[in-house]
Amino acid sequence: MSVPSHDAPCAPFASLSFARIVTATVVFAALAGSFVTPAPALAKTPPPKAVLDASAVAVPDRYSADAAQQIFAAGGNAVDAAVAIAFTLAVTCPDAGNIGGGGFMTVFMDGKPYFLDYRERAPQQATRDMYLDDKGNLVPGMSLVGHRAVAVPGTVEGMWEAQQRFGKLKWKQVLAPAIRYATDGFKVEPWLQQRHDAAAKNFAGKTNFDAYFSNLKAGVMVRQPELAQTLSRIASDGGPEFYEGRTADLIAQQMYGHGLVTKQDLIQYKAVWRQPLAADWNGYKVVTAPPPSSGGIGLIQMLKMKADLKQAFDGLELNSAPYIHLIAQIEDRVFADRQQYIGDPDSYKVPVDKLTDDAYLAQRADEVKPDEVPGATPVKGGLGDALPEKAQTTHFSVVDKWGNAVSNTYTLNGSFGSGVVVDGGGFVLNDAMDDFVTKPSVASPSGATADDLNTVAPGRRPLSSMTPTILLKDNKVSLVIGTPGGSRILTSIFQVMTNLYDFNMSPTDALTAMRFHHQLLPPKTIYFEPYHPITGELADQLKAKGYTLEGQSFNGDVQMIRVEGATPEPSADPRGVGVGRVMP
Ligand code: DON
């Protein structure tokens, strides 16, 4: 950030990159030629009719809200706005917004749901034991900080795919706000300085983080000239520039001799359109993230098991000790299944249908008992022992006036990722490799538990908890929701959804209410947030039941939009500095 521009000599890569760009140009010219050939007159499709009286966003900062507003004013749709938001956050929220990470986008467009997986992938040279020393012990921090923590980034390819497929505006237009913030600067707020200071301690002496980001101080206008250049190249040459052009050369050069990501890994990276998960619940269709996220399966399991346990929940006060106890037992089962059956769907045939099957979930719900002593009965995956056949994150929600929606969660994994900045590129790279099981049977801090399904393998996508979700009612968007928070993502979304629909709370109350988290491991532990600690009588009651209470160091940051009438209602989590904005 405002550091002298580094000249990045990249001779070994330049000729390949040039060849790629030339090839692309030739293909483009051929295609362009076909556009000028007179074509038979086609019936003109009428422009889509607005079904809402405004568009809306719920985003983690005000700059990205402004970017979205410009895009809507220029006639863009929800995907255009989402892509502009994603690139803007890469500039203004560099702890989590990114071009050096990856994520998931759930889209509802012209009446149909889609899911785009642009999750990072392990580089080809990655091996199962790459984080272990000679004695088989985990090398502390190696999967979290520095070059070897970096997986092949997917964000730019994801944004390119989504915008090319569904966007209305020109690619350059949607990058313009981000380029402006990188060039002209943005004002750092105290929360960003705090996140910077915490991360800088971790990275000190280990990465080049401070050379770029030491000026993230509250009140300072920060310009990022190298990032501006990178974004401008991507704007001019398209998403492939990141994977094949000068930016790819800069990444490969940064990795060379230290990390495993090569230019070949970048060239091979592809985002994948997958079938979104869909389940009926409470009169809604829940459209959510399939594997390699565990979040969608877990969310559906929680919602359905809670509905199956209606009698047990009847009359229980929200977030009372007996309520938390029942939810914790549901969560034990969700996280047991997560550990045992969910991994990269390109490596394993994940039994998605079985895990979300009504009869299966009713049987699992039947195991939940109000008077069970926590941890008394060991909980395992519910489908038996058979292995499947081989075969600081941020979220934003967008709805446009045509009734389209985007729910997008993307991440660097940890705050500021690996702390490695691409010299000459001006952006941080992720530490998504830590979402793999770095040592079988050792739980990762962000994942829940550990299993062979999620060990490091070349090209594999690490298991994720990101759960960008859209609820439909009569095939119209009714709720767009998501949050950061690692394995707390699905349990947070579940709680806000049940607050809204089971307890009929207003969006503000649903977001403000206390949230807690429990997962199978560590056993008998209920986590609480800094925003709303569990203390006093409730704490005593939970302890008396046999639970240990533990504070988390961070809050979630749910961004959601409810659509019930003609005007969408966006709400940003009061835990963060997000903005809900309606744009008539
Ligand atoms: O993909 C995942 O589940 C994690 N990398 C997400 C990390 C995260 O949400 C951190 N944010 N607080």
**pLDDT for the residue 453:** 86
Total domains in the fold of the chain: 1
Instruction: Tell whether 407 is covered by a domain.
Output: yes
> How far is Cα of residue 55 from the mean position of the Cα atoms in its chain?
22
Q: State the CATH number of the domain containing residue 223.
A: 3.60.20.40
The pLDDT value given to residue 448: 43
pLDDT at residue 43, rounded to an integer:
53
Say how many Å lie between the CA of residue 372 and the centre of ligand 1: 31
Looking at residue 387, its pLDDT comes to: 44
Determine, yes or no, domain membership for 195.
yes
Structure confidence at residue 23 (pLDDT): 29
Residues of the chain with pLDDT under 50: 1-41, 386-391, 444-450
CA of 414 to the centre of ligand 1 (A): 7
470 and 477 in contact (C-beta within 8 Å)?
yes
- List, in sequence order, every beta strand (DSSP E) within 414-524: 469-473, 476-482, 516-517
Is residue 511 within 8 Å of 560, Cβ to Cβ? yes
In the numeric block, which tokens belong to residue 30?
Answer: 């051929």
Output the pTM of the full model: 0.91
543 burial class (0-12, 13-18, 19+ CB within 10 angstroms)? middle
Predicted local distance difference test score (pLDDT) of residue 16:
26
Q: Which residues contact 171 (CB under 8 A, 6 or more apart)?
A: 160, 163, 164, 235, 238, 239
Domain that includes residue 527, residue range? 55-275+387-460+485-563
Q: Are the C-beta atoms of residues 545 and 325 closer than 8 Å to each other?
A: yes
How far apart are the CA of 67 and the centre of ligand 1, in A?
A: 24
Q: What is the pLDDT of residues 16-63, one digit of tens each?
A: 222 222 223 333 233 333 333 334 445 556 667 999 999 999 999 999
What spacing in Å lies between the alpha carbon of 468 and ligand 1's midpoint? Answer: 12
| Domain-located, residue 434 | yes
Residue of minimum CA distance from atom 6 in ligand 1: 486
Among candidate residues 105, 459, 501, the one with its CA nearest the CA of residue 281: 501
Q: Which residues line ligand 1 (CB under 6 A)?
A: 392-393, 411, 413, 435, 446, 464-466, 484-486, 489, 554
Asked if residues 475 and 146 have their Cβ atoms less than 8 Å apart, the reply is: no
Q: Which atom of ligand 1 is nearest to the CA of 432?
A: 5
Query: Domain for residue 205, yes or no?
Result: yes
User: In a mutational test of the pocket of ligand 1, which residue from 466, 527, 555 has the highest number of ligand atoms less than 8 Å from its CB?
Assistant: 466
Whether 5 is covered by a domain: the verdict is: no
Catalytic residue flag (residue 92): no
- 14, part of any domain: no
Report the alpha-carbon distance of residue 174 to residue 179 in Å, rounded.
Answer: 10
- Report yes or no: 91 and 178 within 8 Å, Cβ to Cβ: yes
| Dihedral-angle region of residue 329 (phi above 0 means left; psi in -120 to 50 means alpha; beta otherwise) | alpha
Predicted local confidence at residue 31, as pLDDT: 31
Q: Which atom of ligand 1 is nearest to the CA of 489?
A: 9
413 CA: nearest ligand 1 atom? 5
The answer to whether residue 433 is domain-embedded is yes
Distance CA 33, CA 162 (A): 24
Distance between CA atoms of 463 and 451, rounded to whole angstroms?
Answer: 11
Considering only CA atoms, which residue is closest to atom 8 of ligand 1?
486
Q: Quick check: is 38 in a domain?
A: no
Residue of the nearest CA to atom 2 in ligand 1? 464
Q: Catalytic: which of 288, 393, 438, 455?
A: 393
429-480 pLDDT per residue, tens: 999 999 998 987 655 444 444 457 899 999 999 999 999 999 999 999 999 9
